[in-house]
Amino acid sequence: MQFAICNEIFKEWDFPKVCDFVSSIGYDGIEIAPFTFASDVRDLNEKDCRNIREIAEKRKLQIVGLHWLLVSPPGLHITHPDSSIREETLEYMKHLIKFCHLLGGELLVFGSPKQRDIMPGVEKGEAWLWAKDFFLRASEEADRYNIFICLEPLSPRETNFITTAREAIKLIEEVSHPRFKLHLDVKAMCSEGRDIGEIIKEGAPYLMHFHANDESGKGPGFGETDFQPIIRALKSINYQGFVSVEIFDVSPSPEICAIESLKYLKEVMKDEDKSEGRCS
């Protein structure tokens, strides 16, 4: 299991400084929010992308992929009743897929709560069919670049569409494309009121990526969420992907959050390894 961190918490830092710091404290990878480089990735050329990739590679950091996909440019929406907006959103998604490929990333985490919300006047069944069409066509494009699209169930506080892992799995099964996978996030799973270990095990056949944060939105270890059963569940399914730290509340500082979150996760991993040793 390798650890990464999402880059948007270092708001005022340039990318070389972010990579220098993240690498120095022991992370293996970094996850990119596209808006931190451009409000529209179509403004970036291939040379820009090569430069971003080289900066990370020189620090021995793997660019895991992208998240916060549709926060900009404004107006994107996958379940909008206007088909031209859905088509525009799909075209932008295709650019994000190519952007990820040029950075050397492997996956796109599809959260984008406001850009998937069911709008007033739209039936859930309609939204479901539009989302299914969007993800199937996006997955076909992703296949051209060996990229995965990972659907993230989010809490009802963030969106009114796909709010549980079971709903996400249902859509993944209906789309039925090998490039369309599942992403799980600890904060979102906490909102389901179910045992997180069970959610992880149910999602195991589809799980491609994982975000670590506290239920409060703080970093792992900064709140009440116990990561011991979470890491145990990931190990039990032989999860081989990255665990990416995604923090919304960066108090007291991004530096302390990044350092202490990784330290906490590695301590939990070590404890779990010892526990397995005792049991064997």
pLDDT on residue 275? 84
pLDDT on residue 12? 86
- If pLDDT is split at 50, 70 and 90, which confidence band does 280 have? very low
pLDDT on residue 252? 95
pLDDT over 90 at 109, yes or no: yes
Kindly state the tokens that stand for 244.
């990416």
- If pLDDT is split at 50, 70 and 90, which confidence band does 274 have? confident
Mean pLDDT of the chain: 97
Residue type at position 95: H
pLDDT over 90 at 162, yes or no: yes
Q: Are 9 and 249 in contact (CB under 8 A)?
A: no
pLDDT on residue 278? 52
Over residues 215-242, mean pLDDT: 97
CB-based burial of residue 244 (10 Å sphere; 0-12 exposed, 13-18 middle, 19+ buried)?
Answer: buried
- If pLDDT is split at 50, 70 and 90, which confidence band does 142 have? very high
pTM score, two decimals?
0.96
